[in-house]
């Protein structure tokens, strides 16, 4: 077990250290997410009465597009000087490499979201932040990071990866996007009962579980050559 867990944290720590040094992923994704919420703030006539209905869509639009931007750069560092080959020649399973990259991507997305959310609260005069909403964001981000890491790795070797990544990623992650938007909407507006919200949360959890099994396997196949 230690043989499996250890390289996961070694890879995740390496990615975090490189990101702290280069800020390649966080800065671009964060600016993009902030741009989205600022533009919506000016473009829509949002009142305290309408914010609860619009907030889930705006928030997840910002998170999803910022996430794709971050994922596009997740394997860029591995492209430097063939370091992906170096990683794949280490005596660790492909699953461990996948989970290492996925954990670092999840952390980057959580940091971006935790910076965007307070700004969203201030700009939109939004007062419906709750632990339930944070839990839904957490579950949605987990699914995003899992699928995103896989497609980031697949798109890494493609010539037009900036185009291919969203094309591959969004259709697959659509069930999670629908689930998080609906569940967030239910929690924020408080118009849906707990069973209704639970169904959407259940959908997110099921897809997270499926992706957490399928994506590491698919990553191993994709990294064969």
Partner 1 sequence: MMRKIAYSKIQKEPLGIRVEGLSKSFGAASVLRCFDLTLERGKRLVVFGRNGSGKTTLLKLLSTRYRPDNGEIWINGNSTHLEPDAIRRSIGVVLHDPMLYEDMTCKENLRFFGNMFDLDDLSDRISDVLGKVNLVSQKDQKARDLSHGMQKRLSIARALLHDPDVLLLDEPESGLDKQMLDDVGPFLFKSTRGNRTIVMATHNSEIGLKWADEVAFLSKGTIVYRASRVDMDEGRFHDIFLEQLESAP
Residue 176 near residue 143, CB atoms below 8 Å: yes
Residue 150 near residue 219, CB atoms below 8 Å: yes
Size of the site for partner 1 (CB under 8 A): 26
From candidates 1, 85, 171, 193, binder to partner 1 by CB under 8 A? 85
Binding string, residues 8-27; x marks residues near partner 1 by CB under 8 A: --xx--x--xx--xx-----
Place of tokens 């897809």: 207
Token pair of 198, please? 């639970």
Burial of 160 (0-12, 13-18, 19+ CB in 10 A): exposed
Which one, 83 or 191, has the nearer CB to partner 1? 83
Place of tokens 């996925």: 102
From candidates 7, 67, 179, 216, binder to partner 1 by CB under 8 A? 7
Which one, 41 or 93, has the nearer CB to partner 1? 93
User: For partner 1, which stretch binds (CB under 8 A), given 26-34, 78-86, 127-135, 164-172?
Assistant: 78-86
Token pair of 127, please? 């007062």
If one counts every other C-beta atom within 10 angstroms of the C-beta of residue 100, the result is 23
Binding string, residues 93-122; x marks residues near partner 1 by CB under 8 A: x-----------------------------
Place of tokens 């890491």: 149
1 touches partner 1 (CB under 8 A): no
* Angle (CA) 20 23 26, round 5°: 105
Report how far residue 122's alpha carbon sits from residue 145's, in angstroms, rounded to the nearest whole number: 27
162 touches partner 1 (CB under 8 A): no
Task: State the minimum distance, in angstroms, from the CB of residue 93 to partner 1.
Answer: 7
**Phi and psi based region of residue 90 (left: phi greater than 0; alpha: psi -120 to 50; beta: remaining):** beta
Which one, 11 or 116, has the nearer CB to partner 1? 11
Task: State the minimum distance, in angstroms, from the CB of residue 167 to partner 1.
Answer: 23
159 touches partner 1 (CB under 8 A): no
Q: Which residues bind partner 1 (CB under 8 A)?
A: 3, 6-7, 10-11, 14, 17-18, 21-22, 77, 80-83, 85-93, 224-225
């Amino acid at each position: 077990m230690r043989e499996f867990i250890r390289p996961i944290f070694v890879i995740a720590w390496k990615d975090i250290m490189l990101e702290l040094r280069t800020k390649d992923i966080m800065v671009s994704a964060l600016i993009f997410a902030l741009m989205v919420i600022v533009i919506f703030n000016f473009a829509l006539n949002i009142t305290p009465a309408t914010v609860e209905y619009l907030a889930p869509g705006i928030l997840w639009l910002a998170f999803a597009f910022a996430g794709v931007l971050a994922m596009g750069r997740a394997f860029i560092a591995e492209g430097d000087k063939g370091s992906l080959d170096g990683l794949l020649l280490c005596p660790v399973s492909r699953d461990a490499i996948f989970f290492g990259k996925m954990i670092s991507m999840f952390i980057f997305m959580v940091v971006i979201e935790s910076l965007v959310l307070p700004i969203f609260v201030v700009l939109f005069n939004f007062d419906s932040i709750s632990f339930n909403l944070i839990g839904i964001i957490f579950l949605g981000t987990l699914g995003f990071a899992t699928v995103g890491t896989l497609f980031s790795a697949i798109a890494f070797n493609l010539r037009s990866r900036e185009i291919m990544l969203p094309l591959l990623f969004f259709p697959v992650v659509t069930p999670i996007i629908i689930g998080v938007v609906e569940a967030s909407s239910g929690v924020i507006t408080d118009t849906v009962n707990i069973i209704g919200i639970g169904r959407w949360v259940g959908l997110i959890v099921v897809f997270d579980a499926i992706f957490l099994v399928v994506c590491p396997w698919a990553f191993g196949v994709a990294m064969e050559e």
